[in-house]
Each structure stands twice: as structure tokens, then as C-alpha cells.
Amino acid sequence: MAQLEGNCLIGQSGGPTAVMNATLAGIIEEALNYEFIEEIYGCLNGVVGILNEDFVDLAAESQQVIRGLKHTPGAALGSCRFQFTKPADYERALEVFKAHDIHYFFYLGDSDSMAMLDELDTYAKADGYDLRIIGLPKTINNDISGTDHCPGYGSAIKHVATTVKEIAADNAAIGEGDYVSILEVMGRNTGWIAAGAALAKRRDFPHDPPHLIYLPEVAFSEEKFIEDVKRVLAKEKYCLVVVGEGLVDEDGNFITLTSGATDAFGHVQLGGTGEFLRRIAEERIGVNARSCKLGIAQRSATHCASKADLDEAYMLGEEAVIAAVDKGETGKMITLQRGESDSYKAETGLSDLSDISSASKALPIEWINEDGVSMNFPFVKYAQPLIQGKVEVPEENGLPVFAKIKGTRVERQLGSYDL
Amino acid sequence: MAQLEGNCLIGQSGGPTAVMNATLAGIIEEALNYEFIEEIYGCLNGVVGILNEDFVDLAAESQQVIRGLKHTPGAALGSCRFQFTKPADYERALEVFKAHDIHYFFYLGDSDSMAMLDELDTYAKADGYDLRIIGLPKTINNDISGTDHCPGYGSAIKHVATTVKEIAADNAAIGEGDYVSILEVMGRNTGWIAAGAALAKRRDFPHDPPHLIYLPEVAFSEEKFIEDVKRVLAKEKYCLVVVGEGLVDEDGNFITLTSGATDAFGHVQLGGTGEFLRRIAEERIGVNARSCKLGIAQRSATHCASKADLDEAYMLGEEAVIAAVDKGETGKMITLQRGESDSYKAETGLSDLSDISSASKALPIEWINEDGVSMNFPFVKYAQPLIQGKVEVPEENGLPVFAKIKGTRVERQLGSYDL
């Protein structure tokens, strides 16, 4: 493969994760290995930063910052939910790339972003501009197709399952067969995160929490919930419930106490299922009930991140660069694949961007037990390797120290663009 | 001091903390040093276990379990909110103590429990029964008088302040001057925990979150909240708000969205202030807002516990035994006192149980800045030493391993008692 000289651009999009900056660090550190990649730029706030020509010089960042990114939550370059929607956006992007001699573009995002990258690849090819585009999956929701799992998911469920074990120890001390504890977790369309709480339940320990997991994959019935809780409380001192924010009824409508506000993209702003179940438990079962809602804490808890997840996130960054630079790949998403051996080992692969489904990758229904509120062993076998190991986050004054990029601005070459 | 031969009893009460079992371990390990203390018993579910004669043999627990208790959240002996209320309760307790030759009684609890222990001490003295009673403070709320701070508080605020830093990194990536992030924390009557979030703000970094802290000590005004948020969003990309569950209006009434349910003791079940502020932000300011509610997770997060807190909790257990056994003390609460030196060093002391106020120890008003939504340096100087250091919790399959007592029952000597 002939060396393609030029500059490199990196962007981050969507909801951040605990390990999204580890991927960024992996890209930067690998790209620094190639002398024919002269500049390593970051675009601020994802593709918005391309259209606005808001670039920062990542090669100018200190080693300390790059090292610190490996355990810094959030998206150091800023994120966005914006996608290119019209031909002019793609044309502007190519114009900006040409102005800055960008020939490598690495972009972290969800399924929506992969579709956009695919379109951008098409534009570049039609234009004859030599651009190598690699998408990098990231989401705690684990719902991107084409990859065995998504960086960010392992850390999110390690945090959720750890929290289940911890609040269970508390619940066990105060419950007397009359106590319901509810943990609401994220997951708009799929139950991947709520399912991950099942890792807290050890094999052959049927009394272990979580006792009940409510997933959007299983239609919710208030009467069944009441029966479920009563059944658990008949034999346990407390009933620990995990519920996803995206609970749906038999008609597929979201169940929530909130007013149905929508975000900038028309997504229903969920939340409130925990409080919803708490009220049913108190009012219809007559027990004490408490709820917790981890919210954004579950996607940013580097202090409880999975080392396996973090290492994979970093590796994806490195391998994306190798694929584009050494192997001349473009129009691909770098993926995690499970090796064939009995012991888990993540390997990287590549999927065509055009093959990435816009639909959420479903949690396999066959991994949900018949009771509808617990996960079976194949799920545990799938998820357990993803939460292994602890991440050492340095502390100062008793609190984690995070990296912040200096963000030296790259001079604009073009006029402004109307988003 | 003449040796007092006899058995030792330990109990735990109130809301558990991340380090309450470390205190238990400290008591057990110190008590094992005295040959003339024959048996070390635990009463299940606090004083309920005394009245019901539900004792377990703690000396029969393995070394592994005792070691594991040092990083196990909850209350390994079970907790209770029950207090002795009538003379018959105290008389029954003495009868049970005599039947089991209990001459040392160590009890972990809040202010209410200290008052009960004081009364029990009076009963024992009047009866001429040689009983040495030491109370051990424990609460994440940090509101027990007579001690500089309470074991459990440091770990709770380390977790809260860590969470503030983590969600801030996430917020910074997605905010555009239009984003409000709300973290609801515990604290029914005092703002000690919400104030602890201020540790996330570094000195001389005015942009650091949390930007706004709402405390029960400062009457809440919706109009001021709106002004506060607008002021922050005028200069920051996001506004991170920390709010206690016990927010009150100008008339001293609790502000909450929940239905005003009360627990078994008539305490109003709070919660919902985070969601309450979220709605104001969305509906009246017109910005995106999200809320998290850590709930019980903030009092059980051993994975984010403070080593300083944990070590002090253990030390209090040891010192309580030394006070009772070596020094013949009784009717006292063991306390933490701040040494006089410039560098923080916790020392233990003793307060008369009769001096422990039944009222919550107030967060000093002079530690709250004039803006009513931030803490000043004297608070930081007070709280920062309490969150230092990390606790290593062993993991198995990627999740923390907690200890569970075997709980070998001690044979009952008496008939049953009607609670």
C-alpha cells in the first residue's frame, strides 16, 4: 500500500462514555507513529466543527494530557448530535478537508453517524478526493450492529452491577420482607444496560439480587409487576428491581411519569420509570420503596470503569489508524469481535459502513428467561468478560484528576458556513 | 482498673453507611485481644435483637469474613430504626444481658440511639448491674453532635464529589450554554452532603462545578433559582446543580414532587427535588435539563469510599473497646476530634451520652457564601481531609466481593418478649 501523505482529523459525537477519550488517545498515539501524517487535528463538537472549521491541534497537546485522556470521562473534543442532512453539508466537509489537507478522518459515534460517514465516503469517492474514513463505535447502549459489543457498554454495566451489589448490602440490612429498592438505568430502546445488572447475580445463588429486571423488550404489565414483587418478598427480605428508562406497555407506548418532553432530535426524554414503579409498590403493594436514578453518572463513572472495556476502547483507536494508514481502508467501521477460543479475547475487525444498520441492535430475546424479569447464562457469558478489571484513576485531594485539552486553535482557511 | 470479666455485645442501627461494618470489624478485632472477654456476640437488627434475644456468635466468624467486613457496605448484623420506648424495654434488655453475662455493649447509631443508650446506662446503674456501654456514631448525614464528624460522611461526599467531577466532564462535552444537570443527594434536615459536593470545585478555578448548591439551610425561591441558572449559563456551557432532598421554602415547608408518604417513624419520605428543579429549568428557562438521584447508592458505595473515613471508622471501633475495657468507661459516645496541628489528624475522644443533642448538628451558616449556593474555604478545610485515599475492594468476576456473616445463633435463655 502506497503511503498516503496528509493530515488526520478526529471527531467525537453522541452521548459520551467513560472510555470514549481512551479511543481518542489511541488514535492520537498511533497516528503520531507515522511521519507522513503531518498534523493531527481534532474537530470540536463533532461534525459541527468540520462545517465551522473549528479545529484544534492535537499533536500540540502534552504527553500528560494524552495519557490523562485514557481515564477521563466525557468527550474531550466536545460532542454533538448533529448529522449532515443536505448535499451542501457533505460538499462543505470536503472543501474543509481539502483546505486543511485532511486525508484521514476518524469519527466516534453511533449508528446514525456511521450512515453519515458512509455518505461522506461516497461523496469523497465521487469527487476523486483521496480520503480514508473510519468510524469508531461508542455507546453505553451497546446497540450498534456489526460489532460484538460497543466500547462504553462494559464500563456502564460494571458500574450498574457494582451499584446493585452495594445497594443490596444496604437493603439486606434494613429489609424485613417489606422493602422494595428500585434502580433506574439508561437504555431508550433496548434493555442492554438493565440486562447487565444481572451480572451481580452469581450463578447458583438464586437469592442474589437483582431479583427483577424490567426491559423494554418485554411488555410491562402493572399487575404482573405487583405479582413479581409479592413473589420475591415472600422469600426475600427485600426486592431489588432494575428498570430501564425505556419501559413500554403492550401497545408499545413508553411508560413514564415525565411530561413527554422531547430533545432537539425529537427523541422522547425518558426517565421516571423508577419513580413510577416506586409509587406502584407503595400505593398498590403497601411496602416501603426507594428509587435511585444513576442518570449520566452511569456513562461517566471512570472511577468504576472496566479495564477490559477501557483497553478495548484504546485498542480500537490504534487499530482504526492502522487500518486506514497501513491497509488503506476507508468506508469502514472498526469493530470488536470475539475470538473463537473458549477464553474471551477481543479482536478487531472491519465492517462496511453501508452494512451498519440504522436500527438498534436488539438484545436477543432468547437471553431473557421465561419469567421475563431475569437473564440466562448465555447473556452472562456474553457480558461478563466486558466488565473485568479495575482502572486506576490518579487522585488529587481525594478526587479523580481528569485531563483537559489545551485546544490550540488551527487557523481557518475558509469563510463561514450556515449550519 | 480492675478487669471486668464478661461477654461483649455489638449492635448496628439506623441507615447503613459504606464504613459501618469497618467499625464492627474494629470492635471485634480489638475485643478478641482480651482473654477475659469470653464471648463476642452480635444482636441482629439492633436493639430489636436484644429484646428478641437474637444473638449471633461473632467470635465464630472466620478471619476472612472479619477482614471482608472492612470493605462491605450495609450493616452486617442487620439494622433497625426501633428504639426502646417504655421501661419494660429497658428492663428486658438488662434481663437479657444478665442471662448472657453481657458486661460490654457497643452500639452504632444516630443521635436517637445515643439518647436510648444513655437511658439504658441509667437503668443499669440503678440496678447495680456492671454494664459498660459505649455508643459509636455513624451516619452519612454528619449531623451527630459531640464529634467533629461522623464515620460514613467522608465516603458519602467523596462519592458525591467524584460523581460531580465525572458528570461535569460529560456535561462539558454536550452543553452549549443551554444545559442544566442536576444531582440530587441525601440529607433530610441538613445540607452536609450537598455541601460536600463543593469539594469538586478547585480553589481558584471559578468555572469548576458544582455551579450551584441548594441546601435546606437556605430558603428556596424558584425565582432566585431561575436567576442563578441564567447567570451561570451566561458564562458556562452547562450548569451543574447539586440539591439536597430536604429543600425547604421560606415557610420551612419541604419542597418535593412526591406524594408526601412517610416512613414507619413519620419522617416525610423526601426525594424528588432533583426532578422538581429539572422541570423548572425546562419549563421556565427553556433549556435541556437532566437529573440524577444517587439515593441509597451514595451511602453504600464502598467502591468509591474514602480511606481516611474507613480507617477512622475502624479506629473508632478499636478505641471504643479500649475505652470500655481498659479504662472502665461507660455512658459515653466515642468521638472523632481534630488534632490541633496544621495537618489533619483524627484523634478519638469521649462525650457523655447525656451531652449528645437530639437535634441535628447544623451545617455552620458562616460556611455558606453570601450567594447562598456555594461553600467557602473554611468548609473545604473542614471536609477535604475526610475524603482522602482510595479503598481497595477485591473483585471476583469484575465485581466487588463483600463479606456476609455466617451468623451462628446463640441459644436463647429466656422466653419471648412482645415488642
Interface-testing mutation among B166, B291, B377, with chain A (most A C-beta atoms within 10 A): B166
Dump the DSSP string for A231-285: HHHTTSSEEEEEEES--B-TTS-B--SS---B-TTS-B----HHHHHHHHIIIII
The answer on pLDDT for A268 being more than 80 is: no
The answer on pLDDT for B269 being more than 80 is: no
Q: How many residues does chain A have?
A: 419
Average pLDDT over residues B23-47: 98
What mean pLDDT, rounded, does chain A reach? 94
pLDDT of residue A264: 45
As beta bridge partners, residue B288 has: B179
pLDDT of residue A27: 98
Q: Each residue of B194-238: pLDDT tens digit?
A: 999 999 999 989 999 999 999 999 999 999 999 999 999 999 999
β-strand B399-400 against B395-396: which pairing, if any? antiparallel
SS (H, E, C) A80-140: CCCCCCCHHHHHHHHHHHHHCCEEEEEEEECHHHHHHHHHHHHHHHHHCCCCEEEEEECCC
Interface-testing mutation among B13, B23, B52, B170, with chain A (most A C-beta atoms within 10 A): B170
* Residue A176 to residue A26: CA distance in whole angstroms: 50
Helix axes A273-280, A222-233, angle to 10 degrees: 70
Interface-testing mutation among B399, B402, B405, with chain A (most A C-beta atoms within 10 A): B399
* Residue B283 to residue A106: CA distance in whole angstroms: 38
Give the strand order in the sheet containing A132-137.
A55-57, A37-43, A6-12, A102-109, A132-137, A332-338, A346-352
Q: How many residues does chain B have?
A: 419
Half-sphere exposure of B263 (CA within 13 A, CB side): 19
* Residue A383 to residue A195: CA distance in whole angstroms: 9
Instruction: Report whether B268 contacts B260 (CB < 8 A).
Output: yes
β-strand A55-57 against A37-43: which pairing, if any? antiparallel
Q: pLDDT category, B258, cuts 50, 70, 90?
A: very low
Q: pLDDT category, B1, cuts 50, 70, 90?
A: low
Q: Each residue of A234-254: pLDDT tens digit?
A: 999 999 999 998 889 888 888
CA angle, residues A56, A57, A60, in degrees to nearest 5: 140
pLDDT of residue B256: 63
The answer on pLDDT for A203 being more than 80 is: yes
Half-sphere exposure of A93 (CA within 13 A, CB side): 30
Residue of A156, A366, A144 whose CA lies nearest to A245: A156
The answer on pLDDT for B261 being more than 60 is: no
* Residue A230 to residue A224: CA distance in whole angstroms: 10
Q: pLDDT category, B270, cuts 50, 70, 90?
A: very low
B403 in contact with chain A, both atoms CB, cutoff 8 A: no
* Proportion of chain B above pLDDT 90, given as a percent: 89
SS (H, E, C) A167-234: HHHHHHHHCCCCEEEEEEECCCCCCHHHHHHHHHCCCCCCCCCCCEEECCCCCCCHHHHHHHHHHHHC
* Residue B44 to residue B380: CA distance in whole angstroms: 38
Q: pLDDT category, B25, cuts 50, 70, 90?
A: very high
Helix axes A20-31, A307-325, angle to 10 degrees: 40
SS3 A363: coil
Q: Each residue of B309-344: pLDDT tens digit?
A: 999 999 999 999 999 999 999 999 999 999 888 889
Give the strand order in the sheet containing B332-338.
B55-57, B37-43, B6-12, B102-109, B132-137, B332-338, B346-352
Q: pLDDT category, A279, cuts 50, 70, 90?
A: confident
Q: pLDDT category, B253, cuts 50, 70, 90?
A: confident
Average pLDDT over residues B288-302: 95
Q: Each residue of A404-416: pLDDT tens digit?
A: 999 999 999 999 9
Q: pLDDT category, A256, cuts 50, 70, 90?
A: low
As beta bridge partners, residue A109 has: A137
The answer on pLDDT for A125 being more than 70 is: yes
* Residue B376 to residue B367: CA distance in whole angstroms: 5
Instruction: Tell me the pTM.
Output: 0.96
B170 CA to chain A: closest CA distance, Å?
A: 4
pLDDT of residue A1: 62
**What was the ipTM of the complex prediction?**
0.95
Q: What is the largest CA-CA distance in chain B?
A: 72
pLDDT of residue B265: 45
SS3 B37: strand
A174 in contact with chain B, both atoms CB, cutoff 8 A: yes
* Residue A94 to residue A331: CA distance in whole angstroms: 15
Q: Find the CB nearest B384 among A72, A397, A402.
A: A397
Nearest CA in chain B to A168: B74
Which chain B residues have a beta carbon less than 8 Å from that of A402?
165, 169
The answer on pLDDT for B262 being more than 60 is: no
Across the interface, whether the CB atoms of B297 and A294 are under 8 A apart is answered yes
